[in-house]
Structure 1
Amino acid sequence: MSNSFLSNQEFNNSIELSILMPCLNEAETIAVCIEKAHSFLKVNKIIGEVVIADNGSTDGSQRIAEANGARVIHVKERGYGSALIDGIKATYGKYIIMGDADDSYDFTALTPFVEKLREGYDLVMGNRFRGGIKPGAMPPLHRYLGNPVLSGIGRLFFPSAIGDFHCGLRGFNREAMIKLNLKTTGMEFASEMVVKSTLHKLRISEVPTTLSPDGRTRPPHLRSWRDGWRHLRFLLIFSPRWLFLYPGLLLLLVGLVCLLALIPGPQTLGGVTFDIHTMLYASMAIIVGFQCVAFAIFSKVFAINNKIFPSDKRLESALSKITLERGIVLGLLLFLMSLMGSINAVMAWGKTSFSSLVPSITMRIAIPSVTLIVVGIQVFFNSFFLTFLASQKDE
């Protein structure tokens, strides 16, 4: 829509939709993408703009974009996420629709996104598996393994119904997205947007989107295994439950069951006898499991305090009962229990006039005692560290 009778500031304030494209050497396709985006705005009578977040192109993409009526933002820090973060901040629209500048998405078919945004949804994801993937548009590794697996893990780790976590065509409310304080600089930015939107309970919808083969002759910037790992790493880091809590609880449970079962004596199961060597590994499982659970709590507290995660009333209620003083007392009690076990072991040794010990007997006392002392020390120092984290809340 023309801004002939409006000042630049008045026009910027009236923009409803910004169509944002990250760009790195897209000279072959940038013009057609901009042309389609302008056509969509004109046909649908939407006051909008086309913004190109250029990430250091050396093939003249910037000049082509400006010649075709787009506004170019120069982003110095390399990376897909970096380009989009700076691009989002530089747009004027109430809503933003972002998409790749390689002509793999049809910028004349954005109506479903706009309709959902106008209905009040904060994030509208495209779904290529519902909309259709044309022959040659997506490598088989991505189509049948990478995207389904990573999207499945995302749905498992987070309460999200999104079927395609990595679709490059998506729309969102600009103000709501800026509040999420997105930070990742690489391809994992696509996952961060979905994960943080879900954690902060934004309104999310999904619409079918068609993916076509891109129009470039050069290879894509995406590196399958490297970028796949970055997505998986991000999902794990943002889910302390799956990274630390659940594995830690499993190790604790298995370790405790095995240790308690073997204290009275060897146990035979299915013709296999388990003895003190199994107790030693059970002790390790308890110690590692306990620390994993502590890491889960530390991670969640840190993330909430730094506004990465929203507040959690259940965690706050639990932490209100875990005071420094109670942690110190519990740690000292565990230490004293281990000390009593150790004294008992020494007394048993004394009854043999401090001669050679029978490991199968004495280790049944020593292993639980050592386990208690290590866990006691963990409780003691973890209590101090948790108190330190709680005091570092970012206001």
Structure 2
Amino acid sequence: MSPIGWEFRSGALDLQVDADPQLSFVIPCLNEAPTLAATIRDCHRGGEATGLNFEIVVADNGSSDGSVQIAQQEGARVVPVPIRGYGAALSAGIKAARGCFVLMGDADSTYRFDQAPLFLAPLQAGADLVMGNRFSGTISPGAMPFLHRYLGNPVLSLLGRMLFGIDVGDFHCGLRAFRRSSILALSLCNTGMEYASEMVIKASLRDLHLVEIPTDLRPNPPGRRPHLRTWRDGWRHLKFMLSFSPRYAFLGFGSVCLVASLLLYSSYATQLSIFTGTTSLLVAGFLFYSACALISDYVVTRFFFAQRYGNHIGRGGRLIDRLLHGRSGIDRLMKSSVAMLALGTALMMILLHAYQNASLSEHAISQLAFLTSVSLSVALFSYLTGAKISTLVAFQDCEF
């Protein structure tokens, strides 16, 4: 079967229009003249092997080395993409694709597009996203730099599994196939390399059916300079992953601060070892306030994620679920703020009275001062959380 849009006849390419391709190969491209022809021919072999009508879409990011002409000569449809970036090119290519299935991969001939049937089979069986796993396939000698193979990819993939519970061994494999409608529904927006992480994370948050299969990786041709920048792009992937994991980015760190604060206070209260000075209480108070601020951000972020991706996001227990239940949740937070403010004020008055009349020891007064700061911190936490959620609800014009 010939690729959609082109038919091979006596070594030449004649235009053949077919408005109903089932499979689209999408290839981002920026000055890939040395390898683009081989990559497109690989797509032809893979498309023919699937038995489906197919097209090849090259999303060109402003090539100046003749890549556009090569793509057209090899039977691909070129989509110009003025916004620079790996994610921008892929996003434009996927939107321009006409097939219900899309197989994406790089133009450097390292990925095996001729393995298309292996990726299409799970999609035809009901999967939404099929990821390649280079570590369970074959990585040819020199195909992956040492740092990428033994540090970058394994660590980021491990973090992906920890943060999102995604059972994927190769989080950043660029060869993947998916249902076009499912991925478009995710509203992916990153223009850089982290687009690949965004796709997997949002697919997981939307409960799409993910499947992973082994795939092979070939080495870059001699002299080709990869577009990937190890440390810069690694940091961008990590930053994006943490941004989409409020449970770890906010709740985890906030919980550490909270536990440290309570331990310091307990040590001071029991006059344990070196933690008997008032400095311990100052640090404990700061940690408690920091914990309140971080947990407040977690609750608000969880609310936003629940509105966008579903209530299962960032589980915080029944208490948080009740707090975030529409208007009644905001009202509970505001009532809690007033109650804790009243308690903090009362404790402050008791503290001032005890200090003026010397009715309590210095140790007891310091503890009372700490408890006062705790009450006021919780009051501020409740108010800020309720106010931020209320603002989000109003901004999104949600019913509450």
TM-score, structure 1 normalization = 0.90
Change (3 A) 1:368 1:94: same
Q: Does 1:364 pair with 2:334?
A: no
Deviation at 1:180, TM superposition (A): 0.8
- Per-residue deviation, residues 53-111 of structure 1 (Å, max 9, x unmatched): 11111111011101111000001111100000110000001100001100101222222
2:383 maps to amino acid: F
Instruction: Give the conservation status (yes or no) of the 8 Å contact 1:130–1:208.
Output: yes
Aligned mate of 1:385, from 380, 385, 388: 388
CA RMSD after TM alignment:
2.5
Range that drifts further, 148-157 or 32-41 = 32-41
Matches of 1:342 and 1:4, distance apart in 2: 78
Matches of 1:66 and 1:262, distance apart in 2: 75
1:57 maps to amino acid: S
Q: Which runs of 4+ in 1 moved over 4 A?
A: 2-6, 313-318, 357-361
Change (3 A) 1:78 1:359: farther
The equivalent of 1:331 in structure 2 is 337
Alignment: residue pair count: 384
Change (3 A) 1:5 1:106: closer
Q: Does 1:49 pair with 2:43?
A: no
Q: Does 1:192 pair with 2:198?
A: yes
Instruction: Give the conservation status (yes or no) of the 8 Å contact 2:49–2:117.
Output: no
Instruction: Give the conservation status (yes or no) of the 8 Å contact 2:254–2:292.
Output: yes
TM-score, structure 2 normalization = 0.89
Deviation at 1:283, TM superposition (A): 1.3
Instruction: Give the conservation status (yes or no) of the 8 Å contact 1:276–1:364.
Output: no
Aligned mate of 1:293, from 295, 300, 311: 295
Matches of 1:382 and 1:208, distance apart in 2: 45
The equivalent of 1:223 in structure 2 is 229
The equivalent of 1:95 in structure 2 is 101
- Per-residue deviation, residues 250-275 of structure 1 (Å, max 9, x unmatched): 32233234325534x5223xxx4433
Matches of 1:200 and 1:296, distance apart in 2: 20
Range that drifts further, 160-169 or 310-319 = 310-319
The equivalences for 1:112-151 within 5 A come to: 112-151=118-157
Aligned mate of 1:320, from 318, 325, 328: 325
The equivalent of 2:11 in structure 1 is none
2:393 maps to amino acid: A
Question: Which runs of no fewer than 5 residues in structure 1 stay unpaired?
Answer: none
- Per-residue deviation, residues 115-147 of structure 1 (Å, max 9, x unmatched): 111111110000000001111000000000000
Instruction: Give the conservation status (yes or no) of the 8 Å contact 1:95–1:172.
Output: yes
Change (3 A) 1:43 1:151: closer
Q: Does 1:279 pair with 2:308?
A: no
Instruction: Give the conservation status (yes or no) of the 8 Å contact 1:304–1:311.
Output: yes
The equivalences for 1:157-172 within 5 A come to: 157-172=163-178
- Per-residue deviation, residues 268-293 of structure 1 (Å, max 9, x unmatched): 3xxx4433221221111111111111
The equivalent of 2:12 in structure 1 is none
Aligned mate of 1:11, from 4, 18, 36: 18
The equivalent of 2:40 in structure 1 is 34
The equivalent of 2:220 in structure 1 is 214
Matches of 2:224 and 2:384, distance apart in 1: 55
State the SS of the aligned residue for 1:248.
helix
Change (3 A) 1:5 1:338: closer
2:298 maps to amino acid: A
The equivalent of 2:349 in structure 1 is 343
Percent identity over paired residues: 39
- Per-residue deviation, residues 197-248 of structure 1 (Å, max 9, x unmatched): 1111111111111111022523111100000000000110000001001221
Question: Which runs of no fewer than 5 residues in structure 2 stay unpaired?
Answer: 8-14
State the SS of the aligned residue for 1:323.
helix
2:395 maps to amino acid: Q
The equivalent of 1:107 in structure 2 is 113
Instruction: Give the conservation status (yes or no) of the 8 Å contact 2:6–2:16.
Output: no
Deviation at 1:320, TM superposition (A): 2.1
